[in-house]
Amino acid sequence: MSAGATPTVDGQDLETYIEDVVDERVREETAELREENERLHEELAEERARRSELEDAIEDLERQNQILKSQVDGVVHTQDLLVDGHSELASRELEKGAHLSWENVEPFTEELTISGDRLERFSTEDDEEYARLPGEADPLGRSGENVLTDADLLPIQQLARLDEDMLANEARPVQLAVKAWQNRDDTGDYGLWSKGSNEVELYMDASDLASEIRSWETGVSKEYSQKLAERAMDSLVELTKNRTYVKLRKRRKDGLEYKERRLTLPADAEIPGESPPTDDVGGE
């Protein structure tokens, strides 16, 4: 190349060659950007379409939910009216002295408006369960023969007839005493009560009652359960009108001797409505 001559590439001067290369690159990149832009536009359109479908589906679900909510509100309102009506009629009948089937009354005990807020649950000779106000006789005789009136029963028996909601108004030791009394049939190897000898029908040790209390009520410590057991035993003696009694017995464990309270139900104790036992089983 002679001095002062213009450089060339493939027969083109350098400046023109560079411009052509740059233009070609610009065209290629512009085409790629257009393709990418079109692809993004298509994806955006698809996304908008999907979003529109989802918004339509959400609107449909909201409409269906509103319809269902209105239907549920209607059902709940109707149910409330039925419960109120049933409770009002049951309350009126009970106030008149009626004996109503327990299974028809039990679901509505909290809604009843009765004098004294006390409802008695009792069984008749045919083992059917009824509800009534304490001591009321059925004027129509629909509940059959009830062997004992409420006034004939011991306080513990009267309390045992109450439903759980009404029993909850009593002191805690009383509630536990009632629960222990209701478990007198629990005389197995790990039962709360044990069968006695000729002179003792049943007996229950304070340690067994304390253990049972911890199984009935969560979160009760061993020490506190022992105190509750003692108080429950005292309540049992009082509520059975001294048909039961408590005495201390010597016991030995791990080589140590200690005294423990034992509540005893004598074989000759007169419990209204219950026949004295005739079988001599076990020993105290």
Residue 11 φ/ψ region, left for φ over 0, alpha for ψ in the -120 to 50 degree band, beta for the rest: left
Helix ranges (H only) for the chain are 14-95, 102-105, 155-160, 164-167, 172-182, 206-216, 222-239
The share of the chain scoring above pLDDT 90, in percent, equals 29
Quick one: pLDDT at residue 277?
39
Confidence label for 129 from pLDDT (cuts 50, 70 and 90)? confident
Quick one: pLDDT at residue 15?
78
Kindly list the domain boundaries of the chain, sorted by start residue: 36-149, 153-284
Region 7-30: mean pLDDT is 80
Q: Give, for 245, the enclosing helix (H) or strand (E).
A: strand 245-253
Q: 191 φ, ψ to 5°?
A: -80, 165
Count of C-beta atoms within a 10 Å radius of residue 68:
10
Complete DSSP assignment for 79-114: HHHHHHHHHHHHHHHHHTT--EEHHHHGGGGGG---
| Residue from 271, 277, 185, 211 nearest 236 by CA | 271
Distance, CA of 278 to CA of 201 (rounded, Å): 10
Question: Between the CA atoms of 63, 69, 71 and 72, what dihedral angle is there, to the nearest 10 degrees?
Answer: 160
3-state secondary structure of 282: coil
Q: Give, for 204, the enclosing helix (H) or strand (E).
A: strand 200-205
Confidence label for 141 from pLDDT (cuts 50, 70 and 90)? low
Residue 265 has pLDDT above 90, yes or no: yes
| Residue from 246, 248, 266 nearest 195 by CA | 266
Quick one: pLDDT at residue 11?
67
Angle value at C-alpha 239, between 263 and 134, nearest 5 degrees: 145
Confidence label for 67 from pLDDT (cuts 50, 70 and 90)? very high
Residue 280 has pLDDT above 50, yes or no: no
The encoded tokens of residue 90 equal 């049951």
Quick one: pLDDT at residue 219?
92
Tell me the whole-structure pTM to 2 decimals.
0.49
Region 126-136: mean pLDDT is 71
3-state secondary structure of 257: strand
Distance, CA of 220 to CA of 232 (rounded, Å): 15
Q: Give, for 200, the enclosing helix (H) or strand (E).
A: strand 200-205
